[in-house]
Amino acid sequence: MKATYSRRDFVQSSALLAAACAAPEFAPSYAQASAAPEGSSPLHLGLASYTFRNFRREELIRFMKQLKVTALNAKNVKDHLPDDPHEEAKALEDYAAAGITLHAAGSIYISKNEDDDIRGKFEYCKRAGIPVIVAGGPSIETLPRLEKFVKEYDIRIAIHNHAPEDRVWGSPLDVLRQVRSFDPRIGCCIDVGHTELSGTDVVQAIHAAGPRLFNMHIKDMTNFHEENSVVPIGEGIVPVREIFAALIQTKYKWFVDLEYESEPDDPLPGAMRSFAYMRGMLTGMGYPGRG
């Protein structure tokens, strides 16, 4: 059984939600505002390109067509979204020709507290028109510098939690504790699997994050104590319906990105089952459309 919140944790998460809701809101970007047609699901399903980390961009695009997904969270793996400006431009041409929109990039690891290094990452996303950087591993001391660039570029930072090996950002609550005094465009990416591994209830974390939640990496697991227990969505014990209900209740406007980490040499069947389950779940909840 996974760990549950203590009363102190619940009170703390409620305080974090109140602080987040008190922060001024920023207008959503074109990418997340135009992702789904009127009358369709209130949740927007996307794909984390890391799912197809062993495949090149041409194959990734072909797989996305089979999955009927047009929203991509791109990572600089293989040639998905290279950081070289010329190669990046070619990738953007390929995605545009395929009708694919890039709504986030990451995880982008921020290991240096230096202007030049961080500016390069923001320029990388600016060239691609990407409104959210899913950030991995920044130090707490880097947050003031990140805030400076968030204000300059108007690009959000979503810090990715990564339990159990990351002792700083293991849980979304760890992220929220550190960012609540910074610009409201600095928030979190909740990775469902790593949140469960940290012993944090995902549904309560969604409510705690509120408007500081800018990206979701969704996956399913058969064991909340075993990192390598990832299975297609719907075949494990992750409470998908409750997660979707919490996102809808908190009026989450960004993307729920499938990050299927199992079977890296043949992830398409598991990804197809995952999207079929999520779309079926949304339909069963009364929301038409693919999501």
217-166-174-207 Cα dihedral, nearest 10 degrees: 20
Three-state DSSP state, 145: helix
Please tell me the predicted confidence (pLDDT) of residue 161: 95
Return the residue matching tokens 């995952």: 274
Q: pLDDT for 145-161, tens place per residue?
A: 999 999 999 999 999 99
Please tell me the predicted confidence (pLDDT) of residue 291: 64
Q: Which residues pair with residue 72 across a beta bridge?
A: 47, 102
Q: pLDDT for 230-252, tens place per residue?
A: 999 999 999 999 999 999 999 99
Domain boundaries, the chain: 43-284
Q: Given 3.40.50.2000, 1.10.10.60, 3.20.20.10, 3.20.20.150, which CATH number is that of 43-284?
A: 3.20.20.150
How many other C-beta atoms are found inside a 10 Å radius of the C-beta of residue 38?
Answer: 5
Please tell me the predicted confidence (pLDDT) of residue 289: 63
Q: Is the pLDDT of residue 278 over 50?
A: yes
100, 130 Cβ separation under 8 angstroms:
no
Please tell me the predicted confidence (pLDDT) of residue 29: 36
Joined tokens for residue 225: 């104590």
How many other C-beta atoms are found inside a 10 Å radius of the C-beta of residue 169?
Answer: 23
**Model pTM?**
0.85
Q: pLDDT for 83-140, tens place per residue?
A: 999 999 999 999 999 999 999 999 999 999 999 999 999 999 999 999 999 999 899 9
217, 190 Cβ separation under 8 angstroms:
yes
Q: Is the pLDDT of residue 275 over 70?
A: yes
Cα 136 to Cα 30, 44, 232: the distances in Å are 24, 23, 24
Please tell me the predicted confidence (pLDDT) of residue 185: 98
